[in-house]
Amino acid sequence: MIDPFGRKITYLRVSVTDRCDFRCVYCMGENPVFLPKREILTLEEIERLCTAFIRKGVERIRITGGEPLVRRGVLGLFEKLGQNIGAGLKELTLTTNGSQLAGMARGLAAAGVERINVSLDSLDPDRFRAITRWGDLAQVLGGIEAAQDAGLSIKLNTVVLKGVNDHELSQMITWAHERGMDITLIETMPMGGVAEDRTSQYVPLSLVRAALSQEFTLLDSTHRTGGPARYVTVGETGGRLGFITPMTHNFCESCNRVRLTATGQLYLCLGQEDAADLRSPLRATEDDGMLGAAIDEAITRKPKGHDFVIDRRHRSPAVSRPMSLTGG
């Protein structure tokens, strides 16, 4: 699949649910309205869609949410998709808040998952609870330990929030690297579903990197994972530190991904509202001809880049849908 700007689309991010057992302040409101279950694709339908994308050249699939591991039966989906590894699919991964990992890590590893991303925004239990509203830090840390015991490679994702967790980043970097984990810092993005003023949360990672460089030796790295992060190696720890900077330096010129929601809507760009309905052709017939044509048509509409802006003139979200609907 080649988009209008010559970019090869090889990476599919799939949300299996908009539901989550946390209420992170940068992701959703405290009392979100979730989608009716009748609108959500079955796991069998999600598998069929993923298989269609693999046939069209997708090499990496990341399962997301919401929190994907709260979806009943989701391990069965991993097992089915894992059968494609080595037969077109190079990697099956997962982004999770870690709350369910303790009981599911071994099943994920058995299904063919080798590495996962875990969202972790603080190592302070009270601050972690304030950011997630409902989260229990001890439960997440236990899940991370279980995942490592199961042989999963872990990268931590930390959304940097001004005046909230930006002062503990060096501690988190050291903590992650001491335990053999990469860590990636992420700029908060202007998406809907939260009440906070975006300008109060946002801190440019260019400033964060400059501050960290006063404490650490940051060595440029050519390491890539297929996603948008750009990495450095921290000289003092030997570990990798990533930066995802959709605001200060977007990565649109090399975008290789599309996002499928739990309702079967294909978003060609995280920062644009345009989407293609794949649920209708999926359910119209068991033959995948109509579905394949819908995918092909959608790729022709992939935009050059997003419209994310955060400043005091742009307090409203760039897109109205919350991150939990599109998939993290």
Binding-site residue ranges for GTP: 13, 62, 95, 155, 257-259
| DSSP code, position 236 | T
* Tokens encoding 238: 């030997």
| 118 close to 328: Cβ distance less than 8 angstroms | no
Annotated binding site: 13, 20, 24, 26-27, 62, 66, 95, 119, 155, 189, 252, 255, 257-259, 269
Burial-class residue 286 by CB neighbours within 10 Å (0-12, 13-18, 19+): exposed
* Tokens encoding 246: 């959709």
Q: CB within 8 A of 218, min separation 6: which ones?
A: 209, 212, 232, 233, 234, 235, 241
Q: Dihedrals φ, ψ of 301, to 5°?
A: -105, 5
Annotated binding site for [4Fe-4S] cluster: 20, 24, 27, 252, 255, 269
Q: What Cα–Cα distance (Å) separates residue 84 from each residue in 71, 262, 271?
A: 21, 21, 30
* Tokens encoding 98: 């870690």
The residue to which tokens 């046939």 are assigned: 55
